């Protein structure tokens, strides 16, 4: 049975921290809904109503484009181990690009990492837990280092070129604001 809460409780925080992957969902007022898996130790629960997650360079930049149009965001975790639970955090988020006044203080919570593109700051309005009885068991073997290696090989200039060429708009053509990260 689903239960709703108005904050992230200590049990919720422990559950979130134990998961190796989470999913993010955003949408603009029209166009495609985006759902993406995230990992790489890129999430921090700041307090009972606030979550930050570090976004790395990817093939698309849907979240930034969607949040520029509509600040709604949902994050979801599900347990692939012994505890059969799904947890969703619903709220509104803002995008912090690298030129944002809060960037340096926020990136310090994660440590500088190659390919860091944006930080998303989610104000959580509702937390919902539900059963995960149908979710299969999976073993976590290790985090992938492919994205980190890709960004290191490209170097900062190569990553910026990639942003300029591939991350300026969503697949629906909405601007993502990535220009804020470009040094050109």
pTM for the whole structure: 0.95
Please state the φ and ψ torsions of residue 157, each to the nearest 5 degrees: -65, -40
Q: pLDDT by residue (tens digit) across 1-30?
A: 799 999 999 999 999 999 999 999 999 999
Nearest to 122, CA basis, from 74, 172, 64: 74
H helix or E strand, kind and range, residue 136: none
pLDDT given for residue 45 in this prediction? 98
Strands 50-56 and 72-78: unpaired
Classified as helix, coil or strand, 103 is helix
Task: Enumerate residues 6+ apart whose C-beta is below 8 A from 128.
Answer: 2, 3, 4, 5, 87, 88, 90
Q: Which of these CATH numbers, 3.30.70.260, 2.30.110.10, 2.30.30.220, 3.40.50.2300, describes 3-181?
A: 2.30.110.10
> CA-CA distance, 88 to 66, in Å (whole number)?
19
Q: pLDDT by residue (tens digit) across 45-76?
A: 999 999 999 999 999 999 999 999 999 999 99
> CA-CA distance, 165 to 159, in Å (whole number)?
10
Q: Is the pLDDT of residue 183 over 80?
A: no
> What is the pLDDT averaged over residues 98-107?
96
Q: pLDDT by residue (tens digit) across 120-140?
A: 999 999 999 999 999 999 999
């Amino acid at each position: 049975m689903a239960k709703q809460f108005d904050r992230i409780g200590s049990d919720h925080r422990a559950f979130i921290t134990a998961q190796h992957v989470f999913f993010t969902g955003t949408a603009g007022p029209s166009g495609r809904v985006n759902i993406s898996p995230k990992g790489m130790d890129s999430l921090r629960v700041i307090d009972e109503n606030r979550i930050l997650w570090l976004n790395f360079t990817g093939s698309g930049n849907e979240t930034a484009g969607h949040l520029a149009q509509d600040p709604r965001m949902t994050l979801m975790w599900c347990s692939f181990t012994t505890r059969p639970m799904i947890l969703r955090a619903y709220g509104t988020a803002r995008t912090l690009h690298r030129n944002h006044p809060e960037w340096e203080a926020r990136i310090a919570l994660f440590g500088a990492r190659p390919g860091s593109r944006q930080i998303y700051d989610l104000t959580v309005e509702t937390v919902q837990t539900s059963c995960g009885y149908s979710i299969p068991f999976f073993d976590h073997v290790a985090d992938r280092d492919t994205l980190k290696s890709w960004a290191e090989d490209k170097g900062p200039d190569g990553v910026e070129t990639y942003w300029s060429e591939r991350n300026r708009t969503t697949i629906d053509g909405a601007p993502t604001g990535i220009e804020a990260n470009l040094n050109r």
